[in-house]
Every structure is written in structure tokens, then in C-alpha cells.
Amino acid sequence: MRERETDRKSLNRRVLIAGFTTRHVACSAYAAGYQVSTVDHFCDQDLYRYADHCLSFDDLESLPAAIEQMSVRWGGDIFVPTSGAELLQVGIPRYGPALESAATFLDKSQTSRFFLETGVPAPATLPERTYPAMVKPRCGAGGWRNAVLHNDEEWSRWKEDFANPPALWQEIVDGTPASVCCVTDGTRAKAVAVNEQLLRGGEEAAYGFVGSVTPFVHPRLNDMVQLAEKIASASGCIGTIGIDFVVGAELYAIEVNPRFQGTVDTVEMSTGINLFSLHVDACEGRLPEKMPEPRQFAARQILFARDEILVGPDLGMFPFVADVPWPGSLVEKGGAIVSVYGWGQSRRDALLMLDKHISTVQQYIGRTS
């Protein structure tokens, strides 16, 4: 999806990237000139364009052993964890938030306390069974299990559907979901891009993340940037992190993501920067002088299977897709199939192109949402 932009500082430098999905980070690292090895749940076709070595794993319990196997076999100069691997460490220098900082922001209750202690506007925490409320599992990414509950019956159903995880109850706030991508060296931070978040909507998994549009143009843009940099500077994290917001009449901080975010593709497509290079620089104490200016609007949407499908033709023939499954792969109902992109000089143009590309892809993969 991106041309290789070799940086002489990174030539012959090896990076091991590990987590549930790594393609977006591997793509950026490859473009920056790194030799890439990955441990990834999916190991989709296009991951092999960027990674010299890929190792798949079945579930998060098997991830540590897979990372150890890859590190012993292929080594690495840098270890970068993504979703699911934030609290893991191997015998390779870790480029990302320290384990203590990552643990704080992987727990939504601790994140809520951090916002309160830092003086950041955030949704108030509510006692259990206070209705209506936004209910979230304390741990987990993507927003797929977040739900607005109105009564005890819905609460009982939520616990049954998701195996009764420890939950955080919060007041409901109105506005547009958005995020700010930052890089931080542990005490200082600089915003890189502001993104609109696309959520699934509908009755099931309504708050699940399905994509982004970069940049997000809004009257509260400067407020978001300033607040995000304040949060990132106080977080103790290093490298790239994302701060989620809801932006309406009021501005509320929602979460801190102590890792590369799902917005990497649209950030890079919009600004022309290489986020992996900025991540490494931040981990080594260097921050950009200013926030880059967007060059265009970029949009990404993940397509999901409405029913179980068997992937047929090779979707890799399209230049506007990523996370491409292998032909013959079985995708369960509700599972992610492929990412689709659009771009243009306005938000409208980018979304029109995105819709056109989605229509093209849907002709090849059957029922999607």
C-alpha cells in the first residue's frame, strides 16, 4: 500500500512486531526501511509483503510462546507490541510504553481514575445498575462489547453474552467519536493527527470500531490537540499512543490506547508521515517540532461478514484493500474480512471513493456489513 521509504538510520535494523493484528505496523516499519518479523493471529496475504518472517498463533494464551519462538529463531533489535501483547516482554529492547503504564490504560477503571486525577473532562463513573448507562468491560479493545443498558434484563443479557467480565459503568455522553494520535517520550508529547472514528452502529456491537477518517475537521480541533498532548505527557507512556474522545457541546476523554492504533493507515495516507519512524524517534527521546499538515482526506472501513462465508477470488488484486485473507479462508459470521480505503481532497470525496471501492469488493465476497 505504500512505497518503501528507506531511512539510512533504519537499514539492516530488525524489528519484531507481535500482537493480535500487526499488518498496519509492519507496513509502516517496512516503509521506514526496517527488516520485519511478525507474530500475528491472522497472517493475511499482504502481511507477507512487509514481513520477512511471519508466525501465526491461535489465542492470546499461546501468544507468549509464539513470540519467544520467533525471537529465538530470528531475533530482533527492537520489539514492538500491538493489541494483545502490550504486557509481554522478551529479551529484545521494548519500544513502547513500559509495562506499568500499559497496564494502567488497558484497565478502563484505572484510566477513568487517571482522567479524574489529571483534571481531564471524562464521563462520570456510575454505581452498578444505575440506568441508563454506558457499560464496558474493564479490559478489551475495539469497543465491541460496549453497550448502553436501560434495565436489569439488558444487564443480565450483557453478562451472559460476554461471560460476565468485570465492568465499568459510566454516564452517557453525546457527540462524535474521535481520536488524537500522539507521540510521547515519557514527559513530553506532540499530536500527529486528529481522526474521526467510524463505529459499526445498529443493534449489535454498535460501538465497535470499524474505521477512521483523517483529518477530523471540527471547531474543537485545537482543544482536542491540547488536551491530548496534556494526557499523553502525563501518561508516562513512550512511543505512539492514541487518545479517544467524544466531541459535542462538551469535550470528553474516553480512553488511552497504549499502542499503535487502528488509525495508522489513514494517518499516514493523509499526512504523508511515517508513524513507525516517529514512534522509534519518540522512544529514543526525539519528538517532531510540530504537527504535520494534512495533504488529503483518507478513509478506511473494515468489512464484516453478515453470515459465514468462504473467501473466493484473490482480493489482493485490488490496490485499495488491505488485511487480505487467503482464498479459501472461512470467515465466521461477524468476522472481519478486509479493509477498504478511499481518499480525496475533501471528506465527502474520500467517503464517495470509499463507498465505490466497497461496492466493487462486495461483488467478490458476498454478504458483508
How much is the pLDDT for 3? Answer: 43
| 48-77 confidence digits (pLDDT tens) | 999 999 999 999 999 999 999 999 999 999
Q: What are the residue ranges of CATH 3.30.470.20 in the chain?
A: 101-283
pTM: 0.94
How much is the pLDDT for 204? Answer: 82
How much is the pLDDT for 4? Answer: 47
DSSP single-letter state for residue 60: G
| 96-138 confidence digits (pLDDT tens) | 999 999 999 999 999 999 999 999 999 999 999 999 999 999 9
| 2-20 confidence digits (pLDDT tens) | 444 545 455 679 999 999 9
How much is the pLDDT for 22? Answer: 98
| 339-369 confidence digits (pLDDT tens) | 999 999 999 999 999 999 999 998 888 656 6
Contact 256, 115 (CB under 8 A): no
How much is the pLDDT for 89? Answer: 87
Residues near 161 by beta carbon (within 8 Å), at least 6 away in sequence: none
How much is the pLDDT for 10? Answer: 59
CATH of domain 101-283: 3.30.470.20
How much is the pLDDT for 368? Answer: 62
How much is the pLDDT for 7? Answer: 52
Edge-to-edge strand ranges of the sheet holding 297-304: 251-257, 238-247, 176-185, 189-199, 209-214, 297-304, 336-344, 321-322
DSSP single-letter state for residue 289: S
How much is the pLDDT for 1? Answer: 41
State how far the Cα of 141 lies from the Cα of 228, in Å rounded to an integer. Answer: 19
Three-state DSSP state, 326: coil
Q: Is 124 exposed, middle or buried (0-12, 13-18, 19+ CB in 10 A)?
A: exposed
Above 60 in pLDDT, residue 311?
Answer: yes
Q: In which band, very low, low, confident or very high, does the pLDDT at 318 lie, cut at 50, 70 and 90?
A: confident
Mean pLDDT of 284-305: 97
What is the CATH topology of the domain spanning 14-95? Rossmann fold (3.40.50)
How much is the pLDDT for 8? Answer: 44
Phi then psi for residue 301, to 5 deg, are -135, 135
Mean pLDDT of 326-330: 89
Q: What are the residue ranges of CATH 3.40.50.20 in the chain?
A: 14-95
Q: In which band, very low, low, confident or very high, does the pLDDT at 168 lie, cut at 50, 70 and 90?
A: very high
State how far the Cα of 37 lies from the Cα of 60, in Å rounded to an integer. Answer: 18
Mean pLDDT of 148-166: 97
